[in-house]
Amino acid sequence: MDMRFSPEELAFRDEVREFIANNYPHELKGARRGEMSKEDILKWHRVLYKKGWVVPHWPVEYGGTGWTITQRYIWNEENARAETTPLLPFGLSMVGPVIYTFGNEEQKKRFLPGILSGDDWWCQGYSEPGSGSDLASLRTKAVREGDHYIVNGSKTWTTLAQHADWMFCLVRTDPDAKQQEGISFLLIDMKTPGITVRPIITMDGSHEVNEVFLEDVKVPAENLIGEENKGWTYAKFLLGNERSGIAGVARSKKAIERLKKLANAELLDGEPLMKTDEFSRKVAELEIDLSALEVTELRTLAAESKGRGPGPEASILKIKGTEIQQRITELAVEAVGNYALVEAPRLEVTGNEFVPGPEGSQGVAQDYFNMRKTSIYGGSNEIQHNIIAKMVLGL
Amino acid sequence: MDFSFTEEQTLLRNTVQSLLQDKYDFETRRKVSKTAEGWRPEIWAQFAELGLLAAPFSEEMGGLGGGAIENMIIMEEFGRHLVVEPYLETVVIAGGFLREGGTPAQQEAHIPGIIGGETIWTFAYAEPQGRYNLADLKTTAKKDGSGYTINGYKAVVIGAPWAQKLIVTARTSGGQRDRDGVSVFIVDKSAPGISTRDYPTVDGRRASEITFENVKVEADALIGQEGKGLPLVEKITDQAIAALSAEATGCMKELNTATVEYCKTRKQFGVPIGKFQVLQHRMVDMFMAYEQSVSMTYMVNLKLEEGDAERTKAAAGAKVQIGKAGRFVGQQAVQLHGGMGMTDELNVGHYFKRLTMIDTQFGNIDYQLKRYSEAA
C-alpha cells in the first residue's frame, strides 16, 4: 500500500500544472457557468482539443491520452486547483463512450470528431415528466417507418439543450415488451423539424435545464445505436460513467478554500468567523468527510485500474460527493450572514447590477439553492441508497 | 393553561386568510416580485382598511388592542402566502419601538401613519462588520446643538426602497461594541445626507445599502434614553424573531401539505412514491419539525413580556428551532418534489428560499445557540 505519488507522477503533475497556467483563457477566471455564453463554455475545451488532452479517459485509438488512472486523477485535481471551467460531460463522458463502444464504424466516423472538437454540442434525452427515478418507465416512442423513425414525446431537465446540436435520446420502440426491453438509443439532430425547446428557470434564477418536445420528429434509422430494443444496456453503461465522475473531490477542496476565505473575512465581535469554535468545527468536519471520500474514490480508481468496477460502490461517491458539495454551499450562506440575502444577477433575473457584500459573497445563496439539484439528478440519492442496499448488501 | 384563540383572534385569522386567498395567489406574488417596485402599495392599503396594521396597537393609540398573538396570527398567514410587504418592519419593529420606547408625542406623531397605511418604515441596524451583534456599531450620532448628526453605513436594510421612515441604531458614546452608548433614532429617508442603493433579495423582496453623511436630526428623533438603547433594541428584535417564527411555521405548513400531496400522486415504479417507507419517515420528520416549531412559536410569543433573561432564552430557542426545522423541511420538500422542486414556477422553491433567509435574519442558528447558552 502506498498513497504517495511517484517521482514520474510528480513530474507529470508539474507539467500539467504549467500547461494549465500558461494556456487557460485568463478572461474566464472566476466566471460561473450559469453566466457564461456558449462560446465561453467551449473555450477551454477547444484549447485542450488542440493539445490532444480533451478526453484522457478515452482509449488512445479514439483520441485518448493513454494516461494511467493516477495521471487522470492528477489532471482532474490540477484543473480543479486552477478552477478551470468543467468540460461538458454530455459528449465527452456520456455519448462519446457509448458511440465508440456500441456504435458502428460509420457512426464513429461521423460523430466522434464533432464531440472531440466541441463543434457538436450534445444534450441528454433521458428524463421525462413522468419518468424521473424510474427511468425505464419512459414513454417517448419511436415508430419505424421505412428508413426512418418517427419520434413523439417529451423530455425534461435537459441540461443546456438551448445550445445543443444533437441529443442522445432514449425512446420506446416496443410498447409490448417488458419495460427495460423495449427501449432504444437514438441520436437526434436538434435542427430536425418538430423539436421545441422550452426553458425551465430554476429557483436560483438560472437557465440550465429545459423541456424538449418531440412531435413527429423524423430520425434516420442509421442514427440508432446498436440494436433496436437494446438501448437500456447502453443507457446503463452511460449512467455508470456518469456516476464515477460525480464525487467532485478536487472541486470541493477548492470550494472549501473559498469558504474559508469568506469565513476569515466575516467578523463576529471583531474576530474572524473562521476562528470561532462553532464555525471552525463545522469546516473541520467537512474536510474530514472530504478526506474520507477522496481515499474512497482513490480506492475505487485503483480497483478500476485492475479491471474491476466501478461497481455499485460508485453510488457511495455520488451520495457522499453531493452531500459534501451541498454542505459547502450551506456553510457559505452561514458564513456570509446578512449579505446572503443579496440576489446576484443570473440570466433571467431583473437587471440588478449592484451586488454589495464582501468579496466572494456574491450569489452564495443562489449557489446553495442551485446545488440542491445534485441530490436529485443522476439518480436521486434515495435511488443510490437502493442500489447499494440491493447490489452491495444483497438486501 | 390554554392554547386556544379568542373569538376575535379567530376572526382576525379568517379575515387575513380570505384576503390573501383572494388577492395573494402564488402567480401574482411571483409576477409582482419581478416588477421594478417589487411590492403592491394597493394591497398595503387593504391591510390598513381591514385593520391589520392596527392589530398590535392599544386602543388609546388608535389600534385594536391586540399584541404579540395578533402579530403571530398575521405573520403565520403571511408566511403561508409568502407576503413580501413590510409588515414585520413597519408594524412589528417600528411599531414596537414606538410602542415600547416612544414618548406620547412620538406615538401621536407616527402611529396613526402606520395604522392608516400611509407610512412604511424599516429598521436600519446591521453593519458590514457587525454580523449579528446589535451593539457592534460604527455608525455614530454626535450631539449637535439640540439635535444629533449621524454618520455611518447600514447594510441589507430590508424593505428600505419602499420606506419613508427609518429606525436607525447609532453609537452616541463608548467603544465600537460596548453595550452602553447605543441610541435609537427616527430618521426620514429623504433627509439630506442619506444616500441609498437598492437591490433585490433572493426571497423576492428589496433591500438597500444606506450611507449617512452628516444627517441632522432633532432631539425629538431620539427613541428612549440616549446611550441606553440596547435593551430596547434587543427587546424589539426578540419581538421580530417571534413574528418571524410565526412566518416560518406558515411556510413549513404549506411545504408539508404540498409535499404529502405530491407524494400521494406522483407515481414511480408503479406506485405513489409516498408508499416508500424511507419517504414516509422523512415526511414524518418534516411534520414533527413543523409541530416543534409551532410550539416554540407559541412559547416565544407568550414570553415576550417576561424578564430579559427569560425572554432572551425563549427568542433564541425559537430562532434555533425554526432555523433547523426550516432548513430540514425546506431541503426535503425540494428533494421529495424532485426536479419540480428546483423550478421557479413551483412555489416550493420560494418557500425554501424564504425559510433560508429567515434563518439569516436577526442571528442564525449558531448565533442564537450561543445567545441561549449565555442567557441560560
| pLDDT of the residue at B223 | 98
Domains in chain A: ranges and CATH:
7-87 (no CATH), 122-229 (2.40.110.10), 245-392 (1.20.140.10)
CB-nearest partner of A343 from B201, B343, B364:
B201
Q: What is the pLDDT of residue B1?
A: 82
Separation in Å, CA of B365 to nearest CA in chain A: 9
| Residue A181 CB neighbours (<10 A) | 13
Q: What whole-number distance in Å separates Cα of residue A247 and Cα of residue A374?
A: 11
* B131 to A352: CB separation less than 8 angstroms, yes or no: no
Report CB contact under 8 Å: A369, B353: yes
CA distance A124 to A157: 9
Give pLDDT, residue A218: 98
> What does the pLDDT look like over A276-333, one tens digit per residue?
999 999 999 999 999 999 999 888 877 777 776 667 778 999 999 999 999 999 999 9
Is A242 annotated in the active site? yes
Name residues whose C-beta falls within 8 Å of residue B31's C-beta, 6 or more positions apart in sequence.
none
Q: CA-nearest residue of chain A to B353?
A: A369
CB atoms within 10 A of CB A147: 8
Residues 227-286 of chain B whose Cβ lies under 8 A from any Cβ of chain A: 267-269, 276, 278-279
Nearest C-alpha of chain A: how many angstroms from B275?
Answer: 14
Q: Is A338 close to B201, i.e. CB distance below 8 A?
A: no
Contact A382 B345 (CB under 8 A): no
Beta carbons of B269 and A134 less than 8 Å apart:
yes
Which of A131, A355, A375 has its CB closest to that of B199? A355
> Is any Cβ of chain A less than 8 angstroms from the Cβ of B319?
no
Cell of A310: 466501478
Q: How far is A243 from chain B (nearest CA, A)?
A: 18
* Interatomic CA distance for residues A13 and A10, integer angstroms: 5
**B201 in reach of chain A (CB within 8 A):** yes
Restricting to B residues 35-54, those with a Cβ less than 8 Å away from any Cβ of A are 36
Percent of chain A with pLDDT over 90: 79
Q: Searching chain B, which residue's CA lies closest to the CA of residue A382?
A: B278
CA distance A271 to A263: 10
- Measure CB to CB from residue B202 to each of A337, A343, A358 and give the nearest one: A343
Domain with CATH 2.40.110.10 in chain B: 122-228
Put simply, whether B175 touches A (Cβ < 8 Å) is no
Query: Could you give the residue range(s) of every CATH 1.10.540.10 domain in chain B?
Result: 7-119
Closest Cα of chain A to B54: distance in Å?
29
DSSP H/E element including B196:
strand B194-200
Burial of A44: CB neighbours in 10 Å, binned 0-12, 13-18, 19+:
buried
Residue A350 has its nearest CB partner, among B34, B267, B339, at B34
B200 touching A (Cβ < 8 Å): yes
- Do A343 and B200 count as a contact with CB atoms less than 8 A apart? yes
- CA B208 to chain A, closest CA, distance in angstroms equals 9
C-alpha to C-alpha distance for B260 and B275, rounded to whole angstroms: 11
Q: Which residues of B touch A358 (CB under 8 A)?
A: 128
Query: Do B158 and A341 make contact, defined as CB atoms within 8 angstroms?
Result: yes
B330: which chain A residues are within 8 Å (Cβ-Cβ)?
none
Q: Which residue of B has its CA nearest to A282?
A: B366
What CA–CA distance (Å, rounded) separates A123 from A161? 6
**Comparison of pLDDT for A174 and A30, the residue scoring more:** A174
From chain B residues 133-172, the ones with a CB under 8 A of any chain A CB are: 133, 136, 155-156, 158
Note every long-range contact of A61-68, with CB atoms under 8 Å and residues 24 or more positions apart, other chains counting.
Answer: A62/A96, A62/A100, A62/A108, A62/A112, A63/A112, A63/A116, A68/A305
Distance CA(A149)–CA(A141), nearest Å, equals 9
Residue of A126, A203, A369, A371 for testing the chain B interface, max B β-carbons within 10 Å: A203
Q: What cell does A92 get? A: 465527452
CA distance A365 to chain B (A): 7
Q: Whose CA is closest to B210, among B158, B171, B149, B132?
A: B158
Question: How close A132 gets to chain B, by Cα (Å)?
Answer: 8
Chain B residues in contact with A366 (beta carbon < 8 A)? 202
Write down the pLDDT at residue A255. 95
Distance CA B299, CA A260 (A): 37
Question: C-alpha cell of A176?
Answer: 409490448
Mean pLDDT of A5-19: 96
Q: Residue B336 in contact with residue B354, Cβ under 8 Å?
A: no
- Please tell me the distance in Å from B202's CA to the nearest CA on chain A: 5
The average pLDDT across A196-204 equals 96
Task: Give A268's contacts in chain B (Cβ within 8 Å).
Answer: 131-133, 367
CB contact under 8 A, A268 and B356: no
Domain with CATH 1.20.140.10 in chain B: 231-375
Count chain A–chain B contacts defined by CB atoms under 8 A: 151
The chain B residue lying nearest A157, using CA atoms, is B339
Residue ranges of chain B with per-residue pLDDT less than 70? none
Q: How far apart are CA B141 and CA B232, in angstroms?
A: 17
pLDDT tens profile A77-122 = 999 999 999 999 999 999 999 999 999 999 999 999 999 999 999 9
Q: Is the pLDDT of residue A149 over 70?
A: yes
pLDDT at A349: 46
Cβ(B358)–Cβ(B244) under 8 Å?
yes
DSSP string for residues in B259-294: HHHHHHH-EETTEEGGGSHHHHHHHHHHHHHHHHHH
* CATH of region B231-375: 1.20.140.10
Q: In this complex, which of B176, B345, B357 lies closest to A341 when CB atoms are compared? A: B357
Would an 8 Å CB–CB cutoff place B370 in contact with chain A? yes
Which grid coordinates belong to B43? 394591497
Judge: B339–A377 Cβ closer than 8 Å, yes or no: yes
Decide: helix, strand or coil at residue A36.
coil
Candidates A133, A338, A388, partner chain B, best to mutate (most B CBs within 10 A) = A338
Pick the CATH number of B7-119 from 3.30.70.120, 3.40.50.2300, 3.90.105.10, 1.10.540.10: 1.10.540.10
Residues of A with Cβ-Cβ distance to B367 under 8 angstroms: 268
Q: Is the pLDDT confidence value at A244 over 70?
A: no
Q: Tell me which long-range contacts A56-63 makes (C-beta under 8 A, separation of at least 24).
A: A57/A93, A58/A96, A58/A97, A58/A100, A59/A100, A62/A96, A62/A100, A62/A108, A62/A112, A63/A112, A63/A116
pLDDT over threshold 70, residue A33: no
Q: With 0.90 as the threshold, say if the pTM is over it.
A: yes
Provide the pLDDT confidence category of residue A179 given band limits of 50, 70 and 90.
confident
Residue in B with minimal Cα distance to A272: B129
Q: What CA–CA distances, in Å, run from B370 to A11, A109, A339, B365?
A: 49, 64, 21, 9
Q: What is the pLDDT of residues A35-86, one digit of tens each?
A: 788 899 999 999 999 999 999 999 999 999 999 988 998 999 999 999 999 9
Q: Which of A242, A266, A330, A334 is the catalytic position?
A: A242
Which CATH number is associated with domain B122-228? 2.40.110.10
Least confident of A260-264, A355-359, B18-22, B50-54: A355-359
C-alpha cell at B46: 387593504
